[in-house]
Chain A
Amino acid sequence: MSVMGLLKKALVTEEIDHQVNQFKKAVGSYGYDAWGFNTESAKVAMSLFKPLYEEYFRVQAYGVENVPSDGPVLIIPNHSGQLPLDGVLTGYAIATRDSEPRAARAMIERFFPTVPFLGNMLNAIGAVIGDPLNCARMLKNGEAVIVFPEGVRGSGKLYEKRYQLQRFGNGFMHLAINHKTPIVPVGIVGCEETMPALYNIKPLAKALGVPYIPITTPIPLPARVSIHFGEPLYFEPADTEEEITQKVELVKDKIRALIAEGLSKRESVF
């Protein structure tokens, strides 16, 4: 039996098997799609992640039904926590919701595919490099795509800037308009506290070719995480980049409101 077969046998519960089998997701004869997503790997990854989601981060997802059950959708959360945990938690919430779970694809930093094992592993569970062409193709394929328009500006920011949205790229709005795709804004509360960064060692990061090297905790702390999905937003075409920026600001306002809702509901950080 292959390593994947052994892991599946040892880890995958009937519940997760059933959830992944419900995905309306076209894969090829060996369970892969064009970006490397693999149904069996997804089942194993979800099984491994389940205790982290349920017991370590004790995630609460609100309004997850706002993600349409099929067709293209852009899911736009705030980004934080040094590691792409927020993307994985958001994807897990959508993949395990009670009604019509679906696979969500997270756009990840461009350097991940160059990292042995990690790049393939992230692809197998649904992540793809954050390339506009990739995103456009996925929307054309009717996928749910998680995009962090803040990029490393958001994930790598210091703890003193927690819950302050950094500059958003406009690319996601162009994609939403060009592909007539709804945007679901998401506010994530708790990931900021999982790996609070006090300082970024920029020269070392530059030397190693990575976006940042934070002085932070060696492992993510067990902060409680809540994910607040807003209602889908639909945008009409814009004539100028300025109009696009205004529409992006509208999305940011929605995310800010969702974060504020999450912070006001939060009873304790840990």
Chain B
Amino acid sequence: MANSDKPTILVTGAGGATAKKVITLLQHDYNIVAVDFRRQIKLGKDIPSYLVDITKRGFEDIFRNHKIDGVIHMGRVGTHSSNRRSRYNTNVIGTQRLFDRCRKYGVKQVLVMSTFFVYGADAYNPALLDEDTPFKAAELTLDLVDAVELENLANIYLYKYPELNITILRPCHIAGPGVRNSMSTLLSSQRAPVLMGFSPMMQFIHVDDMGEAIAAAYKGNKPGVYNVAPEDYIAYQDALSASGCKKAPLPSVPPALPLTISKLMGWRAFPSYLINYFKYPVVLDGSLFEKTFNYKPKHSYQEIFTYYRQQKELLK
């Protein structure tokens, strides 16, 4: 039963591992309403949970039935899921409908989960990209247009409708227990593809730390755009080794060859349109977030990779 003294947060994509952590952290101080379009989520009797697509009309009923004060929008379809059109519909059209409902029902705060993929993996990328760095993702592949457009949309609403208090987070690779994104799938696998002669610098954040970062950003309510990434770096192939993965080297030249192999193999976690992210670095400067929200991740890389290593040992 909702406590009328506490503000209410709508969490989209509530079935994800990060969202569950966020809900655990916020449910003491806020009423939570959970939404997921993939499956019905059971989060206990105090948390109403809906299985609904945010692009459908029925989604508005949630705003009619609950006095929503804030939204944490994590219900974006990942880069490795679904097809380009479907991702665009959910991530861009769906998000716009969500923002419009937020305006209509007087929501006072919105937090949007974006992704570091928007920066694009380019050979000429400098290190420590800050939040003002122009996006290159759409230039490299049309398959990331939905991610870039979601960001652009959120930025338009951030400046056009300041009453929504929009905060946009661009996290690095989220990893750890329960995470099912493309990188976590690779780290969990016994053998993961690598491009011969390329091992770009990467950053990882533990799912629990990401949950805490989102909770801190929501409670802090300082609208703007923030990278979320630790001040620590590791080469992709070292991350695989540390996670107990064997490497499956793919020829990297000519550039079309690994793309063709990826397409033929149908690798969802190593799709052809993300191959540049396994070739060139996208290293973020997360200092603005850390300073603004007085935040430091607690889990080390060693803890993250040990988890994947131990999971493999359990399966033996």
> Which residues of chain A have a CB within 8 Å of any CB of chain B?
2, 28-30, 32-36, 38, 110, 113-120, 123, 128-129, 131, 133-134, 137
Stretch in B34-42, B62-70, B196-204, B207-215 touching the partner: B196-204
Contacts A28-B301, A116-B252, A120-B198; is A33 near B123 (CB within 8 Å)?
no
Instruction: Write out the residue numbers on chain A whose beta carbons fall within 8 Å of the beta carbon of B238.
Output: 30, 32
Given contacts A34-B283, A134-B126, could you give 9 more A-B pairs where the C-beta distance is less than 8 Å? Answer: A29-B232, A30-B238, A34-B127, A34-B128, A36-B235, A120-B200, A123-B201, A137-B127, A137-B128
**Contact between B234 and A30 (Cβ–Cβ < 8 Å)?**
yes
**Contact between B235 and A32 (Cβ–Cβ < 8 Å)?**
yes
CB pairs A–B below 8 angstroms (19 shown): A28-B231, A28-B232, A28-B234, A29-B232, A30-B233, A30-B234, A32-B234, A34-B283, A36-B127, A36-B233, A36-B235, A113-B123, A115-B197, A116-B196, A118-B197, A131-B124, A133-B126, A134-B126, A137-B128
How long is the Cα–Cα vector from A110 to B235 in the complex, in angstroms?
20
**Contact between B300 and A114 (Cβ–Cβ < 8 Å)?**
no
Contacts A2-B241, A114-B123, A134-B126; is A120 near B197 (CB within 8 Å)?
yes
Q: Mark B199-231, 1 if CB is under 8 A from A, else 0.
A: 111000000000000000000000000000001
**Contact between A28 and B233 (Cβ–Cβ < 8 Å)?**
yes
Contacts A28-B233, A32-B235; is A113 near B128 (CB within 8 Å)?
no
**Contact between A119 and B235 (Cβ–Cβ < 8 Å)?**
no
**Contact between B126 and A32 (Cβ–Cβ < 8 Å)?**
no
**Contact between A116 and B253 (Cβ–Cβ < 8 Å)?**
yes
A42 CB to closest chain B CB, in angstroms?
14
Closest-by-CB residue of A relative to B199 is A120
Confirm or deny: B83 has a beta carbon within 8 angstroms of a beta carbon on chain A.
no
- Interface residue count for B (Cβ, 8 Å)? 28
**Contact between A119 and B198 (Cβ–Cβ < 8 Å)?**
yes
How long is the Cα–Cα vector from A118 to B199 in the complex, in angstroms?
11
Closest-by-CB residue of B relative to A136 is B126
Instruction: Write out the residue numbers on chain B whose beta carbons fall within 8 Å of the beta carbon of A2.
Output: 241
How long is the Cα–Cα vector from A144 to B92 in the complex, in angstroms?
44
**Contact between B197 and A34 (Cβ–Cβ < 8 Å)?**
no
How long is the Cα–Cα vector from A139 to B300 in the complex, in angstroms?
27
**Contact between A29 and B126 (Cβ–Cβ < 8 Å)?**
no
Report B117-163 residues with CB < 8 Å from chain A CB.
Answer: 123-124, 126-128
Instruction: Write out the residue numbers on chain A whose beta carbons fall within 8 Å of the beta carbon of B253.
Output: 116
How long is the Cα–Cα vector from A175 to B104 in the complex, in angstroms?
49
Confirm or deny: B280 has a beta carbon within 8 angstroms of a beta carbon on chain A.
yes
**Contact between A137 and B126 (Cβ–Cβ < 8 Å)?**
yes
How long is the Cα–Cα vector from A110 to B233 in the complex, in angstroms?
22
Report B229-251 residues with CB < 8 Å from chain A CB.
Answer: 231-235, 238, 241-242
Instruction: Write out the residue numbers on chain B whose beta carbons fall within 8 Å of the beta carbon of A117.
Output: 196-197
How long is the Cα–Cα vector from A126 to B36 in the complex, in angstroms?
46
How long is the Cα–Cα vector from A113 to B281 in the complex, in angstroms?
10
Instruction: Write out the residue numbers on chain B whose beta carbons fall within 8 Å of the beta carbon of A29.
Output: 232, 234, 300-302
A64 CB to closest chain B CB, in angstroms?
27
Name the residue in A2, A30, A35, A116 with the highest tally of chain B Cβ atoms < 10 Å from its Cβ: A30
Closest-by-CB residue of B relative to A110 is B124
**Contact between B127 and A120 (Cβ–Cβ < 8 Å)?**
no
**Contact between A34 and B123 (Cβ–Cβ < 8 Å)?**
no
**Contact between B124 and A116 (Cβ–Cβ < 8 Å)?**
no
